[in-house]
Amino acid sequence: MKNNRFVAAVLIPAYLFIGLFSLFPVLYGIGISFFDYNPVNSVQPFVWLDNYLKLLEDSTFRHALVNTLVFCVVAVALNMVLSMFLARMIFAVPWRWLRVALRVAIFIPCVAPKVGTALIWKHGILDTKAGLLNQLVKLLGGSSVNWYTTTWPLFAIIIVFTLWSDIGYNTILFTAGLEGVPEELEEAADLDGAGPFRKFIKITLPLMRRTFAFVTIMTVVDYFQHFAQFRVLAPNGGMNDSAMVLTNYIYQTSFRDYDMGYASAMSTVLFLMILAVSLFQNRMLRANWDY
């Protein structure tokens, strides 16, 4: 009985905290998506599904949805490949002190504020006159480019920035996963004459499937919610909405147009997409994998 009281005393405040600061805002946001909600109006009329039907006719929303999906697929795929490659290179370094130094160096951009680093990229790398990228273009015989008036190049630059700022985190996780692979299996493969690539495909990857699944799904969930770099580098969505994503469009609709009911409908769609990925993650992590 005393143990039950102690458990209740510990868990009830945690549940109240989660309910107040996590569950309630989600339910409240879904609720106002059924209203023509504008904080400057005294009356908030109930419109039922009109906000969701409006999404079907909104070309900007369609651009933002497609760009969000493309960003997640391309950036996550490149992140997985590059972070696994870097982890493998670091793991192959024979000196422990150098492995630690390399991991620290790669992880530094992850702890830097994304808004601050995005501003540095904006003024130090992408600036039309003095930006590093345009200086390289001039060295190659080209002329300065206003990157903010481009379509796919700006989107590609944002993906590169995202990889630079995030890749260290997954590299650390993959490095830890590689350290958990039994050395005896690779030594046995060496005796059988297997090369490095064959050992990686036949031994390392199968033994890291849980780690790989966890890292991939968590990265997808995180990338669906990326906002800071898009807001700094493409605040208006770029030329022809080429760099508009759902998070930026939701922000504009909420705090520039004050159409919070419509923005909540878009947020609900984004929430359902992330929920679907999270449920898939739980299913993958519950899988009974035998080696």
pLDDT tens, position by position, 245-282: 999 999 999 998 889 999 999 999 999 999 888 888 77
| Across 151-177, average pLDDT | 92
Backbone angles phi, psi at 23, to 5 degrees: -70, -45
Residue 213 has pLDDT above 90, yes or no: no
For the chain, give the mean pLDDT. 87
pLDDT tens, position by position, 121-154: 999 999 888 889 988 888 888 888 889 888 899 9
CA dist 153 and 66 (Å) reads 17
**What is residue 71's predicted lDDT score, i.e. its pLDDT?**
96
**What is residue 62's predicted lDDT score, i.e. its pLDDT?**
94
DSSP 227-257: -HHHHHH-TT-SGGGTT--HHHHHHHHHHTS
Domain residue extents for the chain: 59-285
Lowest mean pLDDT among 11-20, 45-54, 187-196, 223-232: 187-196
**What is residue 286's predicted lDDT score, i.e. its pLDDT?**
66
CATH architecture assigned to 59-285: Orthogonal Bundle (1.10)
Q: Please name the amino acid found at residue 221.
A: V
CA 20: distance to chain centroid?
25
Q: Which residues contact 285 (CB under 8 A, 6 or more apart)?
A: 210, 213, 214
Work out the percent of the chain whose per-residue pLDDT is above 70: 95
pLDDT tens, position by position, 182-210: 777 777 777 767 777 777 777 777 778 88
